[in-house]
Structure 1
Amino acid sequence: MVLLASSSQQLLANQIILGFEILALIVSVLMIAVGLIQNKSSQTGLSALNGGNDELFSNSKERGVDKTTSIWMFSLGIALFIITIVIGIISNTVLT
């Protein structure tokens, strides 16, 4: 009877982990979509490679769509981080 309870508990834990993994997949696809929508005007990564620092100390604020996509990307990144931590905690505590 104890084996039945632990196997059903593991089955439930596996289903919960699968749900969180699907949620993480959806969040990561949304992050890719928001990243493709973001403004490409700032080339800080490319500037770092070729030594340019034109926009390094510029005083420019994000407005409109740029700010909205930046907030969405930040929020989705935090959500993905939290989902990953929850998956790790569930898999290490329940499934051991």
Structure 2
Amino acid sequence: MNLFAYSNSFKETTNAVIFGLEIFCMIVAIVMIIVGLVQNKKSQTGLSALNGGNDELFANSKERGLDKTLSQVMLGLGIILALVAVVMAILTNVIL
């Protein structure tokens, strides 16, 4: 008896769950992009790290208010995205 011989309806259900998780990952990624666009820039120019013009590199600046909230939201969304991607990979490799 093969342990991995699943019925056809089980595979269809698993495929539907994996498809739902893929859609969820796409929605989380889009929300992360939107939150990243709303966040304030840390430096004045994008090339300041390359040309050495970042005077505020070692400045003692704490995030406050909306910046702190958006940073925490971004961290939470990143953790959720990573966990769901790992679950999808496990389901794909073990079940299918």
The aligned residue for residue 64 of structure 2 is 63
SS at match of 1:69: helix
Distance 1:22 1:44 in 2: 35
Q: TM-score, normalised by structure 1?
A: 0.86
Provide the secondary structure at the position in 1 that maps to 2:48: helix
Query: Which structure carries more helix by proportion?
Result: 1
Distance 2:79 2:88 in 1: 14
Are the structure 2 counterparts of residues 43 and 78 from structure 1 closer, same or farther at C-alpha, using a change threshold of 3 Å?
A: farther
- Partners in 1 of 2:17 and 2:51 — Cα distance? 47
How far did residue 6 of structure 1 move? 2.0
- Contact kept, 8 Å, 1:44 with 1:55, in 2: the verdict is no
Q: Distance in 2 between matches of 1:77 and 1:45?
A: 23
1:52-95, CA deviations, whole angstroms, 9 ceiling, x for partnerless residues?
Answer: 23121110000001001100111101111111111100000000
1:70–1:53: structure 2 CA closer, same or farther, 3 Å change rule? same
**Number of residue pairs aligned between Structure 1 and Structure 2:** 93
TM-score w.r.t. structure 2 length? 0.86
**Structure 2 unaligned regions, length at least 5:** 1-5
Distance 1:43 1:15, change over 3 A: farther
Runs of 4+ with >3 A deviation: none
Alignment CA distance shift 1:57-1:44 (3 Å): farther
One-letter identity of the residue aligned with 1:58: A
Shift of 1:47: 2.1
